[in-house]
Amino acid sequence: MNYEQFFAEKIADLKSEGRYRVFADIQRQAGKFPTAFVHKDGKVKEITVWCSNDYMGMGQNPDAIAKMQEIAGGYGVGAGGTRNISGTMHEHVLLEAELADLHQTESALLFQSGWVANLTTLSTLGSLVPDCVIISDSKNHNSMIEGIRHSRAEKHIFRHNDLEDLENILKSIDPDRPKMIAFESVYSMDGDIAPIKEICDLADKYGAMTFLDEVHAVGLYGPRGAGVAERDGVMDRITIIQGTLAKAFGVIGGYIAGTKALCDFVRSYGTGFIFSSSMPPAVAAAARTNVNHLKNHNELRIRHQERAATLKQRFRDAGIPVMDSVSHIVPIFVGNAVLCKQASDDLMERHNIYVQPINYPTVERGTERLRFTPTPHHTDAHMDQLIEAIKEVWSRLGLQAAA
Ligand SMILES: *Cc1c(COP(=O)(O)O)cnc(C)c1O
């Protein structure tokens, strides 16, 4: 086989479909978010970032920066091992306690990323709980799908956020078999939110565990930022809450929270936990600083929701086709991969606005979109500039206005 030719052809396929991914080469500037520099063709210019998952700008929290510097100076930069073999730093222990407190659970367990937390936890439970059946929302994130796949457990997919379909599936499974319902709270490409309480009711009725990915909600919802389950008063009904430290908490890493026995089980049997070196202590310390900060600053969440609501309203007023969203995520419909990329390129090149195109396989073909994530740092002036830029690009590319 001509390997090189094979690779080149597969890449050419992506390019012809308009969904070849080009990474913007960004240089963030602490203290100036959402302003950043972009490097392109040897040139540098200043842009406004509109698509970061650093939803609160916590990546530049001065306390977290100082903490990271302090702990790197004190411990050195790496942890030096897996958690079992010399790699459990006191900062990991403190961060796990902070996360268990956040979710009001007995325990929490850290991973290198949210992706690894999902993969490891779902694959470990699905493979080791005897005869387990996993019932998974059709819009679940790739990391959950991979975890379920690796578990080789029997899997059923229910229609997105559809309680009737979920109940029909639960009903069809032998009542004595162990079951787990795997779903998310905020779905990050559409901005809709799962009916968590009703899913918990079904879980109780049919004796199922619940696995809830709150990656796009931790730090952002609930009076202490523990997520939508906290906001809805059902946090104590979830078997496993999974989150990330890389989005609203602004650093890197993932975790699960649950009972002592459950976390100990995944700690003891999960290969993605056991065989991978632990995160640098300075990283854990910075993450803990931000988790604690957002626990105590509900006014940031209020401002965040206000910014998102304002942007949605302003898009509507301007006839820009904003999609339905009940969360902080603000997607605009394009519906064509090539045009979506073109709109994104034009916004960057002509207007110094950065929003990444969202194409298949992240969303279904024909539903390509631009996904905006306003933060507490996006001002009215940023929005003025954005609206004018979108109007210009939409009319020049002949894109559809709002219906
Ligand atoms: C980003 C994401 C993850 C993975 O988290 P990372 O910490 O970025 O690895 C998991 N679930 C969902 C829904 C996500 O969007």
| Alpha helices (H) along 235-379 | 260-269, 271-274, 281-295, 298-317, 337-351
State which of 144, 212, 214, 247 you would mutate to test the pocket of ligand 1, scoring each by most atoms of that ligand within 8 A of its C-beta. 247
Average per-residue pLDDT for the chain: 97
pLDDT at 402: 74
Active-site amino acid positions: 247
DSSP label of 280: P
Task: State pLDDT tens for residues 14-36.
Answer: 999 888 998 999 999 999 999 99
Which whole-number Å values give the CA distances from 122 to 62, 87, 128, 175, 266, in the listed order? 36, 24, 10, 21, 9
For residue 271, give the 3-state DSSP assignment: helix
Q: What is the pLDDT of residue 395?
A: 95
Q: What's the pLDDT tens digit per position in 166-210?
A: 999 999 999 999 999 999 999 999 999 999 999 999 999 999 999
Describe the crossing of helices 142-151 and 114-128 by its angle, rounded to 10 degrees. 30
pLDDT band at 403 (very low <50, low <70, confident <90, very high): low
Of 143, 185, 279, 373, the one to substitute when testing ligand 1's pocket (max ligand atoms within 8 A of C-beta) is 143
Q: What is the pLDDT of residues 108-141, one digit of tens each?
A: 999 999 999 999 999 999 999 999 999 999 999 9
Ligand 1 neighbours by CB, cut-off 6 Å: 113-115, 118, 141, 143, 184, 188, 213, 215-216, 244, 246, 254
Q: How many CB atoms lie within 10 A of CB 288?
A: 24
Query: Which residue's CA lies nearest to atom 8 of ligand 1?
Result: 114
Q: What pLDDT, in 10s, does the model give residues 228-247?
A: 999 999 999 999 999 999 99
Name which residue sits closest to atom 14 of ligand 1, judged by CA: 215
Token pair 């603000």 is found at: 330
Return the H-helix or E-strand segment holding 145. helix 142-151
Q: Output the pLDDT for position 254.
A: 98
User: What mean pLDDT do residues 60-87 have?
Assistant: 98
3-state secondary structure 209-246: EEEEECCCCCCCCCCCCCCHHHHCCCHHHCCEEEEECC
Looking from the CA of 389 toward its CB, the CA atoms found within 13 Å total 22
pLDDT of res. 118:
98
Q: For 281-293, what is the mean pLDDT?
A: 98
Beta bridge partners of 375: none
Distances from the Cα of 247 to the Cαs of 57, 58, 122, in angstroms?
A: 9, 9, 21
Q: What is the pLDDT of residue 19?
A: 83
